[in-house]
Structure 1
């Protein structure tokens, strides 16, 4: 049997994506993917 880790996901709307990314960066999250109108952030812990 293969172990498949689960990753929680939260969609958080914002009016200013740059300010939002900066806020979450202070919490320790990095931008993993940038699609222009949305970004995927993570802490590397999956």
Structure 2
């Protein structure tokens, strides 16, 4: 992965539309929480 890819990804995540970026961040957090809860339940 090149630094340019990372910059593009950050620009996509942050984007000019803060509301959409916030919703995307919330979605990432929700997915992470589900993954963590699944891992904990498997241990």
Structures share a fold, TM > 0.5?
A: no
- Larger Rg over CA atoms: 2
More helix by share: 2
Q: Which has the higher contact order (CA 8 A, sep 6+)?
A: 1
